[in-house]
Structure 1
Amino acid sequence: SQPSKRGIIGGVDNRVLWNNKDYPYRAMGRIALSNGAICSGALIGSRHVVTARHCIPENGATARFQPAYDNGEVLGGYDVIRIFRPDYGQEGWCANAYDWAIFVLGEKAGSTNGWLGLKTVNPDTQLNRAMFFHYGYPGDKGGQQAYRQEAITASSATLCDRGSPVVTDADAQGGQSGGPFWINENGDRYLYGVVVGTNDQITVVAGGPSLLEGYGILLKDYP
């Protein structure tokens, strides 16, 4: 579900207003639902946006991906035509590991904006290191502009599946759900999951093997 508390870890808000619209930020953006709800997401393929499963529109609502949204569709907007999600893992703490979805766009937004690669957090080498980034549209800041945080640390990634869910110290609030959790690896950007929940102690990221497997299945029908 949407974060119920303002998840500012340690009492210090490290989110920074981010107006850069060059890659990779043009491959990230806001997801606007026709019912007024807002989430965040990122392109992982030519027309594939990964976000949180709890951002899937309900009751006939539609969704639209808005790259690098900044008080308007500065890089256009793309309607979602198909949604792919895991149909398992919906109960208990481990539901967090499967709180991801892939939205298929009607047009290939990635052709002009690019996209992020997809990887899984390695618990042997990537924990307890201030190395991750997050980008999203926090509701407590109005949901109209992007905020970025750097030097995020992952403390755990093996509680349910190897690499998911990831327990982090990212600062988050409603609206950032589905936003990318990523690394710049020698100029290449890889997405390791999406933000799915927060409180004043931890922020949880979904992804891992199930996301990689699911994306592979989706590509066969929606390349």
Structure 2
Amino acid sequence: MDAEAPPWASLGRVQTELGGRCTGTLIGPRTVLTAAHCLVAPRTGALVRPSSVHFLLGYRQGTWKATSRAASVRTGPGFDPRTRLPRGADWAILTLESSISGTPLALLEDDPAPHLPLALGGYQQDRPEVLLADTACRAVGPAVLDGLRLIAHACAATRGASGAPLLAQRPDGDWAVAGVSVAAAVGTARGLAVPARSLRD
């Protein structure tokens, strides 16, 4: 995808100094949305230090438009980094050390209705240096795991797209974040996302 064009210009790579790589979305000048499990240290099963997390806006083949370290991290209530569960709490908000010059995306106020057209883009393991997206997928419907809401969708993604935004166009044509990708099925266009409105609850 063209990392200069909306809504892709609001995406970047989230990476830790331990080698973890995921996708993040600028939702405020100093605020990035990603998946909480992206911030778990593989050996200790604990969250990494915020200062070891970097956000690279518009990442492409070793270059980026802007970057900042995280100053703090807030995860979904009840998220356990040792188990990386529950899925419905697998979200994280990074507050950056400094503001980034970019176009933040708004959070969708309601869950997407079944069959609503969606798009899902991220830095996936098969092409980690560029932004790939499924721009012709749809919402399947709501799902509930461990008592928490999720969005089931039919968007294709692989590892690395964790933390990627599930995007929907509003009636005015602007893009908004409907959810954050937390799980993808291998070999089929199926996945789960935490609804954006869960971040407001």
> In the alignment, is residue 101 of structure 1 matched against residue 92 of structure 2?
yes
Q: How many residues align?
A: 189
**CA RMSD, aligned part only?**
2.5
Report the equivalent of 1:27: 10
The answer (yes or no) to whether the contact 1:162–1:209 under 8 Å persists in 2 is no
> Match of 2:17, as an amino acid?
S
> In the alignment, is residue 118 of structure 1 matched against residue 131 of structure 2?
no
TM score, norm. by length of structure 1 = 0.76
Report the equivalent of 1:127: 114
Quote how far apart the aligned CAs of 1:172 are. Answer: 1.1
The answer (yes or no) to whether the contact 2:20–2:39 under 8 Å persists in 1 is no
Quote how far apart the aligned CAs of 1:102 are. Answer: 0.4
Q: Higher strand proportion, which one? A: 2
- Inter-partner Cα distance in structure 2 for 1:51 and 1:42: 7
- Inter-partner Cα distance in structure 2 for 1:161 and 1:23: 35
- Inter-partner Cα distance in structure 1 for 2:19 and 2:178: 28
* Deviations, residues 147-184 of structure 1 (Å, cap 9, x unaligned): 11112211121425999311111111111100011112
> Match of 2:176, as an amino acid?
Y
Q: Which structure carries more relative contact order (alpha carbon 8 Å, separation 6+)?
A: 1
Report the equivalent of 1:206: 194
- Inter-partner Cα distance in structure 2 for 1:190 and 1:19: 18
Quote how far apart the aligned CAs of 1:121 are. Answer: 4.3
> In the alignment, is residue 87 of structure 1 matched against residue 77 of structure 2?
yes
Q: Higher helix proportion, which one? A: 1
- Inter-partner Cα distance in structure 2 for 1:161 and 1:210: 14
| Identical-residue share of aligned pairs (%) | 23
Quote how far apart the aligned CAs of 1:208 are. Answer: 4.3
> Match of 1:76, as an amino acid?
A
* Deviations, residues 61-88 of structure 1 (Å, cap 9, x unaligned): 6111111100123302111110001231
The answer (yes or no) to whether the contact 1:89–1:98 under 8 Å persists in 2 is yes
The answer (yes or no) to whether the contact 1:162–1:208 under 8 Å persists in 2 is no
Structure 1 stretch displaced more, 83-92 or 43-52: 83-92
- Inter-partner Cα distance in structure 2 for 1:98 and 1:208: 11
Structure 1 stretch displaced more, 158-167 or 32-41: 158-167
- Inter-partner Cα distance in structure 2 for 1:87 and 1:20: 32
- Inter-partner Cα distance in structure 2 for 1:190 and 1:149: 16
- Inter-partner Cα distance in structure 1 for 2:87 and 2:5: 31
> In the alignment, is residue 68 of structure 1 matched against residue 43 of structure 2?
no
Q: Which runs of 5+ in 1 are unaligned?
A: 1-17, 214-223
- Inter-partner Cα distance in structure 2 for 1:127 and 1:183: 12
The answer (yes or no) to whether the contact 2:13–2:21 under 8 Å persists in 1 is yes
The answer (yes or no) to whether the contact 1:121–1:164 under 8 Å persists in 2 is no
Report the equivalent of 1:219: none
Matched residue SS, 2:72? strand
The answer (yes or no) to whether the contact 2:180–2:196 under 8 Å persists in 1 is no
TM score, norm. by length of structure 2 = 0.83
